[in-house]
A and B are shown apart, each in its own frame.
Chain A
Amino acid sequence: ETGVTQTPRHLVMGMTNKKSLKCEQHLGHNAMYWYKQSAKKPLELMFVYNFKEQTENNSVPSRFSPECPNSSHLFLHLHTLQPEDSALYLCASSQPPASQGGTDTQYFGPGTRLTVL
Chain B
Amino acid sequence: GESVGLHLPTLSVQEGDNSIINCAYSNSASDYFIWYKQESGKGPQFIIDIRSNMDKRQGQRVTVLLNKTVKHLSLQIAATQPGDSAVYFCAEKAGFQKLVFGTGTRLLVSP
Residues of A within 8 A of B (CB): 1-2, 4, 6, 31, 33, 40-43, 45, 48, 50, 55-56, 90, 94, 96-97, 104-111
Interface of B is mostly: strand
**In the complex, chain B residues whose CB is within 8 Å of the CB of A97:** 96-97
Residue of A nearest to B4 (CB): A42
Note all chain B residues with C-beta closer than 8 A to A1: 42
- Cβ–Cβ < 8 Å partners of A50 in chain B: 97
Residues of B near any A CB (own CB < 8 A): 4, 32, 34, 36, 41-46, 49, 89, 91, 93, 96-104
Q: Which residues of B contact A105 (CB under 8 A)?
A: 34, 46, 49
Q: Are A108 and B44 in contact (CB-based, < 8 A)?
A: yes
A106 and B43 within 8 A (CB) = no
Bound complex: CA of A117 vs CA of B45, how far in Å?
30
Q: What's the least CB distance linking B98 to chain A, in Å? A: 7
A41-B103, A42-B4 as given contacts; A104 in contact with B93, CB under 8 Å: yes
Chain A, Cβ-Cβ closest to B43: A108
Q: Write out the residue numbers on chain B whose beta carbons fall within 8 Å of the beta carbon of A6.
A: 43
Contacts of B91 in A (CB 8 A): 43
Residues on B with C-beta less than 8 A from A94 are: 97
Checking B96, B99, B100 against A106 with a beta-carbon cut-off of 8 angstroms, the contacting residue is B99
